[in-house]
Structure 1
Amino acid sequence: MSTSQLPLFAIYIHPDDLRELRRDIWNDELVPATLTFHKKKFHIDISYRGSHIRKFKKKSYFITFYKPYFFHGAHELHLNAEYKDPSLMRNKLSFDFFSALGVLSPSSQHVLLSINGKHEGIYLQLESVDEFFLKKRQLPIGPIFYAVDDDANFSLISSFDKAPKTSLDAGYERKLGTQEDHRYLEEFIFQINTTPKYEYESVITKILDVNKYLRWLTGVVCTQNFDGFVHNYALYRNPDSGLFEIIPWDFDATWGRDINGKQMDYDYVRIEGFNTLTARLLDTERFRKMYYDIMKHTLDHEFTVEFMKPKVEQLYQQLRPHVLNDPYIKDRMEQFDDEPDWICEFIEKRNAYLKSQLSVLL
């Protein structure tokens, strides 16, 4: 297969159902459709996905499969338009970067989409974080909570009105598990905030995979996803270890651009990151040293132009022929062509900045 080939998702939605879908972009009700992929037909349900991105002319979609029930081992998938990212690759680059750091991350690949014969352009197919995500990785089935708004800030105080939260699981939506599992999440948030400093190390290591969290923190800080500290993640509790792990989600506002695709200065996010859990972990000498070691290693190896540039170039070469045919972004060709250098320049400047800040962790 040549590097320019992308798989095609051909979706057919009955005109009545398509009208119903378009009637209210904020409606999460799924409508029936069929998806043809490599000459095989799948019966699916489809809806729009995302929050502010629903307003864009190039929509993003959520798909569930019901006949057959699985698509390459998945029951659900997300098709992201990546409309505000002029490179179309930041989300994928981020998830692959997190995987390289040893963080649980969704898999992703670029595809082409057509709806009722109309070419909709390039999309990023994203794996859903659910029980099948766990099964693929041979992980025990345990509760998964999505951080759906800024109240998922690991604090007892609401991000919205700065008042005490009315519930400890505010800001989260359970994706997998039972109502009973909320007690694990509530206990987790409670202990993060109320455990005294002298007990913090022993208590937190019994409820959080600290090493994985610090690897995730390194990834968020390097890629500079400002929203990533208080949402854009999922929590998974491994029932064998009893520890929570954190999984990144929605990382297109990264590698030097914000959620609107505007330039973000390379020194916008400090090396210590944000949120209550991060602050308390870095207030513990052992964890601060762990974070220093992980960050230093990452700045020497994975978060470098040498490591990332081949990945950026490969995605650029794969996507470029199809950008010319994407009805929503084909007029942005010049900017698309400039993005690989932009991303590499950001990595170079961000790396130098973070290296200059390493000493604050000592």
Structure 2
Amino acid sequence: MSTSQLPLYAIYIHPNDLRELRRDIWNDDLVPATFTFQKKFHIDISYRGSHIRKFKKKSYFISFYKPYFFHGVHELHLNAEYKDPSLMRNKLSLDFFSALGVLSPSSRHVLLSINGKHEGIYLQLESVDEFFLKKRQLPAGPIFYAIDDNANFSLIGSFDKKPKTALDAGYERKLGTWEDHRYLEEFIFKLNTTPKYEYESVMSKLLDVNKYLRWLAGVVCTQNFDGFVHNYALYRNPDSGLFEIIPWDFDATWGRDINGKQMDYDYVRIEGFNTLTARLLDIKRFRKMYYDIMKHTLDHEFTVEFMRPKAEQLYQQLRPHVVDDPYIKDHIEQFDGEPEWICDFLEKRNTYLKSQLSTLL
């Protein structure tokens, strides 16, 4: 196997526990294992994700319990990035959000072996939890994961198109107490029912609108179609009383969809989607705020000049290991062409969005 600076995580799962894990890929029950990197850790492990569980190269959720911390984290996610031929779209996206001033998980590429079998390149994702907040010197507050498309900022369910029976449908509380659900319920209720003449005032007391519009610019630029109703977390800062939005799982971006197929550069409109976005952009001051954010982003961060060096650096870091990854080593030619594919999409998407900017005024 190639030598490089990518860390190698070696996991050992007892054969009986491995059989239990594989018996039902949809089961979220954790099984015990050991994790070795520099020293040995006792962990619990399970599969993670939704549709990605069906892929040959599995993604994993890991919880440390002895010792309790691994490099300052208690949990981490190992994403296979199986449908992304570049293996870098998720990391490029999350780092892009950080550059836009949006709370975003940190990530790094690693190598993984399970019971001595080399599983190839993975993306280690930081868990959005109390330690995520602590690392950023943010006060502990409730965190809700958007776990399905019912987290669509609407009073109508995404699946049955009927009124929701619960205002917090589609969310799972990661941090906080049952009492904190009332903040989420109030937020969902008021964003839907507040009349337009009160909207600016009411929403400014519930949501960090500037941060939300920065997030919106990031989703629109990277063109994550699922990102408007899924693939995010909500954090309520108890000091400000405002919700902030945090991106998650952004591999279906930069010109490819969730199946790794080409997504046309003009597939997602500049206004994006979802009820909250539509209502915010219906307010003149918020729409102008979004225009200013998007214009700045298109001039600075969402440019080939800004992103190409990042894509090329990741490519150089990953390339020596692609030949050893049993799941992608037969697709090296495609991997080699991905940085240019990403830049080509970026250039076309940037031009398209600039042509649409005037519609925001």
How far did residue 4 of structure 1 move?
Answer: 4.1
**Contact map agreement 2:2 2:324 (CA 8 A) in 1:** no
Cα separation, 1, equivalents of 2:169 and 2:17: 34
Say if 1:338 and 1:181 are closer, same or farther in 2 by CA, change over 3 A: same
How far did residue 178 of structure 1 move?
Answer: 0.6
**Contact map agreement 1:4 1:319 (CA 8 A) in 2:** no
Cα separation, 2, equivalents of 1:303 and 1:148: 28
How far did residue 69 of structure 1 move?
Answer: 0.2
How far did residue 162 of structure 1 move?
Answer: 1.2
Cα separation, 1, equivalents of 2:24 and 2:193: 43
**Contact map agreement 1:4 1:317 (CA 8 A) in 2:** no
Runs (4+) of structure 1 exceeding 6 A deviation are none
**Contact map agreement 2:42 2:67 (CA 8 A) in 1:** yes
Cα separation, 2, equivalents of 1:30 and 1:231: 24
How far did residue 161 of structure 1 move?
Answer: 1.4
How far did residue 128 of structure 1 move?
Answer: 0.3
Q: CA RMSD in A?
A: 1.3
Secondary structure of the residue aligned to 1:346 is helix
- 1:249-301 alpha-carbon deviations (Å, 9 max, x no partner): 01000000000000000000000000000000000000000000000000000
- 1:207-246 alpha-carbon deviations (Å, 9 max, x no partner): 0000000000000000000000001000000000000000
How far did residue 24 of structure 1 move?
Answer: 1.0
The residue number in structure 2 matching 1:54 is 53
Whether 1:237 aligns to 2:240 is no
The residue number in structure 2 matching 1:213 is 212
Please, which moves more after superposition, 39-48 or 281-290? 39-48
Cα separation, 1, equivalents of 2:2 and 2:34: 28
Query: TM-score, with normalisation over the residues of structure 2?
Result: 0.99
Identity across aligned pairs (percent)? 90
How far did residue 87 of structure 1 move?
Answer: 0.1
Say if 1:2 and 1:32 are closer, same or farther in 2 by CA, change over 3 A: closer
How far did residue 324 of structure 1 move?
Answer: 0.5
Point out where structure 1 has 5 or more consecutive residues left out of the alignment.
none
**Contact map agreement 2:64 2:74 (CA 8 A) in 1:** yes
Secondary structure of the residue aligned to 1:332 is helix
How far did residue 185 of structure 1 move?
Answer: 0.3
How far did residue 183 of structure 1 move?
Answer: 0.3
- 1:91-122 alpha-carbon deviations (Å, 9 max, x no partner): 00000000000000000000000001110000
Whether 1:335 aligns to 2:334 is yes
How far did residue 19 of structure 1 move?
Answer: 1.1
Cα separation, 2, equivalents of 1:120 and 1:83: 12
How far did residue 15 of structure 1 move?
Answer: 1.0
**Contact map agreement 1:3 1:317 (CA 8 A) in 2:** no
The residue number in structure 2 matching 1:3 is 3
Secondary structure of the residue aligned to 2:331 is helix
**Contact map agreement 2:105 2:127 (CA 8 A) in 1:** yes
- 1:23-66 alpha-carbon deviations (Å, 9 max, x no partner): 111111111111110x3111100011111111111000000000
Point out where structure 2 has 5 or more consecutive residues left out of the alignment.
none
How far did residue 5 of structure 1 move?
Answer: 2.0
Cα separation, 2, equivalents of 1:321 and 1:28: 34
Cα separation, 2, equivalents of 1:195 and 1:24: 45
Query: TM-score, with normalisation over the residues of structure 1?
Result: 0.99
The residue number in structure 2 matching 1:130 is 129
Secondary structure of the residue aligned to 1:145 is strand
Cα separation, 1, equivalents of 2:157 and 2:35: 42
The residue number in structure 1 matching 2:346 is 347
Cα separation, 2, equivalents of 1:344 and 1:51: 29
Cα separation, 1, equivalents of 2:27 and 2:204: 41
Secondary structure of the residue aligned to 2:261 is coil
How far did residue 132 of structure 1 move?
Answer: 0.5
How far did residue 354 of structure 1 move?
Answer: 0.1
Secondary structure of the residue aligned to 1:325 is coil
Please, which moves more after superposition, 154-163 or 346-355? 154-163
Say if 1:164 and 1:326 are closer, same or farther in 2 by CA, change over 3 A: same
Say if 1:3 and 1:248 are closer, same or farther in 2 by CA, change over 3 A: farther
**Contact map agreement 2:2 2:320 (CA 8 A) in 1:** no
Secondary structure of the residue aligned to 1:41 is strand
Equivalence map 1:1-362=2 (5 Å): 4-37=4-37, 39-362=38-361
Cα separation, 2, equivalents of 1:95 and 1:5: 21
How far did residue 2 of structure 1 move?
Answer: 12
- 1:64-93 alpha-carbon deviations (Å, 9 max, x no partner): 000000011110000000000000000000
